[in-house]
Structure 1
Amino acid sequence: MNQKTSIITAPEGTLPSVPLRGTVPPKSSDVPQPRYVLLSRILTFGLRARWKRTVLFWFRFAANPFLTTRWWRFLSTFTATREFPPPHDELLQKPLSKFLVYGLSSSKRLSLLIEHFSIAERILSRESMISLWRGEWLDMGTVRGRAEAYSCHIALADRAGGRHEGAFAIKLVRVRDKAVLCTSRFMFVRRGTEGRYTFVVGSMQGPRNAKQRMVEVTRDLSGLRPKEALLVVLQGLTVEGGTQQFLAISQAKHPIHYRRSRRQSMMLSNIDAFWAERSAEPEETFGFRVPHSRVYGADKRSRSKLWFFNLGELFH
Structure 2
Amino acid sequence: MAKFDWDDLRYILAVAAAGSLAGAARSLGVNHTTVLRRIGAFETKHGLRLFERLPSGYELTAGGEELIATARRIDATVTDLERKLAGQDLRLSGTVRVTTTDTLMGSILPEILKGFRDAHPGIEIEIAISNAFLNLTRRDADVAIRPAKNPPETLVGRRIAKVAFAIYGQRRYLARRKTKDFAAHRWILPDDSLANTAAAQWLAAELPEVEVALRTDSFLAAAQGARAGIGLAVLPCYLGDSLSDLVRIEGPVAAMETALWILTHEDLKPVARIRAFTDFAAEAFKKRRALLEGGKSR
After TM superposition, the score normalised by the length of structure 1 is 0.23
Larger relative strand fraction: 2
Q: Flag the structure with more relative contact order, 1 or 2, with Cα contacts below 8 A and sequence separation at least 6.
A: 2
| Structure with max Cα Rg | 2
TM-score normalised according to structure 2 size: 0.24
